[in-house]
Structure formats: structure tokens, C-alpha cells
């Protein structure tokens, strides 16, 4: 069979399967990310059927998926919101970083994956899924709840932390020297600062350059700018993902709203391909040896995220029920964790087992997060009833 025909057949089969899996996920009320990853595991290296004709296209498409994911994430925030959120939540953000970065580091050290593996796994366990968290909050009708600004502030801090973490990770994976890595981080901080200043002062001008009343022109300009900025950022070892995220921040107002609406279907398409490709490149046979560690990480980092949300909610004077909702909303891991693991595996600087652990961990957390968020209130009510029924100790006379 001709290569082009094989590519079209395999690509069609993948997209059709993604549609079915997405519909199934919607029916059971979960994020489709776990099902996309499982689909990739079934039809990738070591799976039931190995797809070869579509690999070249899917790898490029998956990179575009990362760019669009981060661009859309940047469009959700204005520079002013980022700065305000950072001022209000920096302490909660630091607590979140320490509590949730550490478990990944410790597991990597125990498994003997070295400093690079520790840096990667720390990022995998640290970052919550903004996409899953936002969907859960919206689906459960909690957008107007008192704890929601606290949740969003922590997510904003995490996204800003990624703008520093990803360039550091890229430099380490590329094997740059200390001086080279330091210069990369310096460039990244300079670019982040410059973009925030431009967005705060001249955000309207940036938006005007991208904006157009013609939908086709608008879409071409927007995607072209995103890929161009991402490519330049990657060439500077700053990370393509960070470049796309910063471009999203620089676009504001009505233009950002229109851009999000136009890009959403494309983002969903290419992001789905990204998750499938990550699954395709993960050998299912490597999962059983790391399953125990994935379960351990799932339990520990669920508790640390809940503790983060509880503590941050308490600082804002939020009641116990709101604190529980805040903590459970942060539990899910998803797109960013896979992006981090994908960058590491593609570089060849980490062991293949890391991809298996990251995949298994994200599968567990992407399912566990929405479930815990959904049952946060009934769980707290049950705990309260049990506590009230427990007889108090009578002091000795």
C-alpha cells in the first residue's frame, strides 16, 4: 500500500476513534485525556496494532497541539490578572510548589533516575490540570463560589512557574553547561518580564495587529504568529510552549475572546492527537513495573493538593466545605504533566520508564481528580456526621 494511502487510513482511524472516546468520556462525566492516552497505548509501540504510516504527521501535529494548548491558556489571562493573582497568592503558590514538587523528586531519586529525572518528575507531580479544573468547576456550577478565586489564583501561579521551569528543563535536557543554562533562564525571565510590560502598557496594540474582521485572515494570522513565536522561543532554548503562552497573555480584550472561540476546535483536535502520540510512544509493557509507584504518587499528591487548597482557603477565611472543594479541584493532573514528560522522553535524556510512570500517574489523576471534586461535599458531610456521633471522652473525676 502507498505511504500516503496508509497515512490517510491510519489518521482517519485515529480521529474517528478519538471522537468515539471523547463522546464516551462526556457520557461518564470525565476528562477525555485518560481515554486518549489509553487509545495510544493500545495502538502504539508494544500495543495491539503498531501504526507506522501516521507517525511523521502525528509528531508534528502533537507539537502544534502543545503550542495551541499553551496559547489558549495564555488567552485566559490578562497581564493585569496575572500580576494581581501573583501578589495575592504567592505564598499559597510557594506552599503548593514545595508540597507537590517534592514527591516526584523523591520517587525519581528512589528509582535511581538521577537529577534530570528528578527535575522532570517534580514538574509532572507539581502542576495541576487547568483544563480539567476549569471544566470541573463549570460542570459543578461552582464558578460563583467563594473558593473559586483562590483556586484560580493558585493555577495562575503554577502557570507562571511553568514559564520559568520549562526553559530550565529545556536547557537541562539539551545538556547545556551551567553558563549556558543560566543564560537560558536569564533570557526566559527577561522575555517574561518584557511580555508582561508590553501586555500591560500596549496590549491593545498587540491585539490590533493580530485582530481582523475576516475570520479566515484572523485564524491564519493568529496561528502563524503562535507557531512563529513558538519556533523562535524554541531556537533560543526558552521552550516553544512558553513562547505560545506569552503570546496568549499579550493578546487581550475582545480579541482574546474571539481568538479563544476560533481556536477552541483546533486546540481540541491537535491536543487530542498530542495525547494519543504520547501513548503511542509508551510501551504498555513498561507500565506494570512502575504501577506501584504511580499509585503511591497518586495517593500522596492527592493529599498534598487537598492540603494546599485547604490551607489557601483557610487564609481567605473560607469555610470547611469551601476548603475541601478548593483542595479537590486542584487534584487532577493532565496536559502540562504530559507535556513535561513528552519533552523529556523526546530528548533521550531520561529512561523510557519515566514515560510509563508519567502516563500511568496522569491516567490515575485525570480520573481521580474530577471524582474527588464531585464528592467533596458529600464526603465532608459524612465526616461531620461521623465526628458528631463519636462520643467525647469523659474526664476522670
Place of cell 460563583: 144
pLDDT(296) > 90: yes
Q: What whole-number distance in Å separates Cα of residue 114 and Cα of residue 341? A: 15
Better-predicted residue by pLDDT, 289 or 252: 289
The string of pLDDT tens digits covering residues 78-96 is 767 667 766 777 888 899 9
The string of pLDDT tens digits covering residues 177-206 is 656 666 766 776 777 777 767 777 777 777
Q: What whole-number distance in Å separates Cα of residue 160 and Cα of residue 278? A: 24
Give 343-357 as a DSSP string. HHHHHT-S-THHHHH
Domain range 31-168+263-378, its CATH number among 3.40.50.300, 1.20.1530.20, 2.30.110.10, 1.10.238.10: 1.20.1530.20
* pLDDT at residue 396, as a whole number: 54
pTM of the model: 0.75
Q: What's the whole-number mean pLDDT along residues 262-288?
A: 80
Beta carbons within 8 Å of 288's beta carbon, 6+ residues apart: none
The domains of the chain are located at: 31-168+263-378
Contact 76, 317 (CB under 8 A): no
> Tell me, what DSSP letter sits at residue 239?
-
Among 11-15, 188-192, 212-216, name the one with the lowest average pLDDT. 188-192
Closest CA to 151 of 18, 330, 300: 330
* pLDDT at residue 176, as a whole number: 65
Better-predicted residue by pLDDT, 185 or 396: 185
Amino acid at each position: 500500500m502507498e505511504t500516503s494511502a496508509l497515512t490517510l487510513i491510519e489518521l482517519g482511524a485515529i480521529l474517528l476513534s478519538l471522537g468515539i472516546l471523547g463522546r464516551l468520556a462526556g457520557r461518564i462525566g470525565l476528562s477525555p485525556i485518560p481515554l486518549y492516552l489509553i487509545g495510544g497505548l493500545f495502538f502504539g509501540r508494544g500495543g495491539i496494532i503498531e501504526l507506522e504510516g501516521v507517525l511523521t504527521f502525528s509528531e508534528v501535529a502533537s507539537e502544534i497541539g502543545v503550542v495551541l494548548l499553551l496559547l489558549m491558556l495564555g488567552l485566559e489571562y490578562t497581564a493585569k490578572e496575572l500580576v494581581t493573582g501573583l501578589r495575592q497568592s504567592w505564598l499559597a503558590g510557594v506552599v503548593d510548589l514545595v508540597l507537590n514538587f517534592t514527591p516526584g523528586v523523591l520517587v525519581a531519586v528512589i528509582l535511581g533516575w538521577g537529577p534530570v529525572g528528578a527535575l522532570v518528575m517534580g514538574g509532572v507531580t507539581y502542576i495541576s490540570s487547568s483544563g480539567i479544573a476549569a471544566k470541573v468547576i463549570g460542570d459543578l456550577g461552582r464558578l460563583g463560589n467563594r473558593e473559586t478565586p483562590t483556586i484560580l489564583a493558585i493555577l495562575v501561579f503554577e502557570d507562571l512557574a511553568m514559564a520559568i521551569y520549562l526553559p530550565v528543563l529545556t536547557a537541562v535536557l539539551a545538556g547545556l553547561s551551567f553558563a549556558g543554562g543560566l543564560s537560558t533562564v536569564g533570557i526566559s525571565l527577561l522575555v517574561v518580564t518584557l511580555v508582561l510590560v508590553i501586555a500591560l502598557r500596549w496590549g491593545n496594540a498587540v491585539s490590533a495587529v493580530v485582530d481582523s474582521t475576516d475570520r479566515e485572515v484572523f485564524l491564519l494570522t493568529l496561528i502563524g504568529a503562535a507557531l512563529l513565536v513558538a519556533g523562535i522561543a524554541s531556537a533560543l532554548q526558552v521552550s516553544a510552549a512558553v513562547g505560545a503562552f506569552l503570546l496568549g497573555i499579550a493578546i487581550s480584550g475582545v480579541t482574546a475572546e474571539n481568538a479563544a472561540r476560533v481556536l477552541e476546535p483546533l486546540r481540541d483536535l491537535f491536543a487530542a492527537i498530542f495525547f494519543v502520540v504520547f501513548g503511542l510512544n509508551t510501551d504498555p509493557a513498561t507500565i506494570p513495573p512502575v504501577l506501584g509507584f504511580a499509585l503511591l504518587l497518586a495517593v500522596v499528591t492527592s493529599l498534598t493538593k487537598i492540603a494546599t487548597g485547604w490551607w489557601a482557603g483557610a487564609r481567605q477565611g473560607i469555610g470547611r466545605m469551601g476548603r475541601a472543594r478548593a483542595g479537590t479541584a486542584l487534584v487532577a493532573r493532565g496536559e502540562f504533566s504530559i507535556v513535561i514528560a513528552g519533552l523529556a522522553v523526546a530528548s533521550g535524556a531520561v529512561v523510557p520508564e519515566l514515560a510509563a510512570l508519567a502516563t500511568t500517574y496522569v491516567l490515575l489523576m485525570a480520573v481521580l481528580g474530577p471524582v474527588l471534586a464531585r464528592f467533596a461535599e458529600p464526603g465532608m458531610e459524612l465526616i461531620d456526621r461521623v465526628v458528631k456521633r463519636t462520643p467525647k471522652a469523659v474526664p476522670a473525676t
